[in-house]
Amino acid sequence: HFLSLKQPTTMIFNNLAVRTSFLARGVLSPASSVRCFAAMPTVRPASPEFSSGPCKKRPGYSLSSLPTRNLGRSHRSKVGKSTLKHAIEETKRILKVPEDYLVGIVPASDTGAYEMAMWNVLGERDVDICHWESFGKGWFGDAVSHLKLRDTVTVNEHTADYGHLPDLSKVNSDNDVCFTFNGTTSGVRVPDGCGFIADDRKGLTLCDATSACFAMDMPWEKLDITTYSWQKVLGGEGAHGVLILSPRAVERLESFVPENRPLPKIFRMTKKGKIDAALFTGATINTPSMIAVEDYIDALQWADSLGGVDALIKRSQDNLAVIDGFVQQNDWIDFLAVDSATRSSTSVCCTLKLDSSQIKKFASLLEEEGVAFDIGGYRDAPPSIRIWCGSTVETSDVEKLMPWLTWAYETSQEEAVAA
């Protein structure tokens, strides 16, 4: 039996549904002062780092374990060049990059690597640019507003709203094709195998794979220029990019020189009409952070100890599976990506049945409790959360996070009702 509380009063509930039920039954007066506290979980993730970049360090990471052999030494010294060359060779081996492809370490993270490619090779033929989130849209802006490619060639735009892919069947493989393998800010990736890219293509493909490499299978035969930053899936430090070139990309670099396009020093990849091979064997354009390189090598060694890239892919997919199960069980949360076949396993973006201010509160509650850091959706994305599920994140931590999402949702709702 319920006590009739139709006169204004104060009660405290630990479940929002109970409070709502009391109101519906007429047991409570709407004027009653009611505070409702969702039950707080007792088990926290061992690591609250769910940021989408820079991302979580590998399990068991310790800064003190990094070699100090390069500290105070020139990156052009024998030991410096040897360390850089080792990082390149291990990258190639663990990612299963074809032997005749080139791998280089370049300045300015993935952004620097991708713009380095754009500034060097685009303009030789028409271009198709595919984008469905903020970073891909940025590459389109580079092409038309800064490179001004439409003054000399046709630039076709293939776009879609957040949560969707454009119609990739319309991509013309006779053209150069720019695309993002995984939309970090939308949680939407390209289909497995990149079947929209023709094997007998005439143009080059320029692939921004920064949140895909080491967590998704890369179809190298479809990719001519691939870029990423090791701060993403491997949890490395910022400021360095990785550039991977196919033989076709090298041929373009050696045969095409854009007219009236100045190239900053940090963008230059050729000397006297030939590829600068030294860039892909350990020499860098400018001074890298050698401690960041050692940190990257540490992550590569960890990846190798697990079984290489296949093991890393499985870890990320297992993390996504946890969130997928949770979404299926709760009607207040859903994936921003509408198609499960093209849903990211790294930057997992979810919408909530909360308004934008409530979602900010939702994220801040989890941060205040030391449960999940930096999971607010990207500033240009629809109101959402973004949980990094890359390979360095433990599946057990994703599992422990799920009850906290319920707590944060109910608490955010309760505070909105109370207000």
CB atoms within 10 A of CB 8: 11
How confident is the model at residue 5, as a pLDDT?
A: 46
Residue carrying the six token digits 């449960």: 371
Give the pLDDT of residue 414. Answer: 85
- What's the pLDDT tens digit per position in 263-303? 999 999 999 999 999 999 999 999 999 999 999 999 999 99
Residue 306 has pLDDT above 90, yes or no: yes
Which is it for strands 270-271 and 274-275: parallel, antiparallel or unpaired? antiparallel
Taking each helix axis from N to C terminus, what angle separates 290-306 and 78-94, rounded to the nearest 10 degrees?
30
pLDDT of 262 above 50: yes
C-alpha span between 146 and 227 (Å, rounded)? 20
Q: What is the pLDDT of residue 6?
A: 46
Residue 400: CB atoms within 10 A of its CB come to 18
Q: What predicted TM-score, i.e. pTM, was given to this entire model?
A: 0.92
Model confidence at 255, pLDDT cuts 50, 70, 90, reads: very high
CA–CA gap between residue 371 and residue 92 (Å, rounded): 36
Q: Which pairing describes strands 240-245 and 225-229: parallel, antiparallel, or unpaired?
A: antiparallel
Instruction: Please give the share of the chain, as a percent, with pLDDT higher than 70.
Output: 91
Residues contacting 264, CB < 8 A, separation 6+: none
The pair of three-digit structure tokens given for residue 61, joined into one six-digit string: 């990471």
Task: Say whether pLDDT at 386 is over 50.
Answer: yes
DSSP 8-state symbol, 143 = I
- The H-assigned helical ranges of 95-186 are 109-121, 134-141
Does the structure show a pLDDT above 50 at 10? no
Distance separating alpha carbons of residues 212 and 210, to the nearest angstrom: 6
> Could you read off the pLDDT of 392-401 as tens digits, one per residue?
999 999 999 9
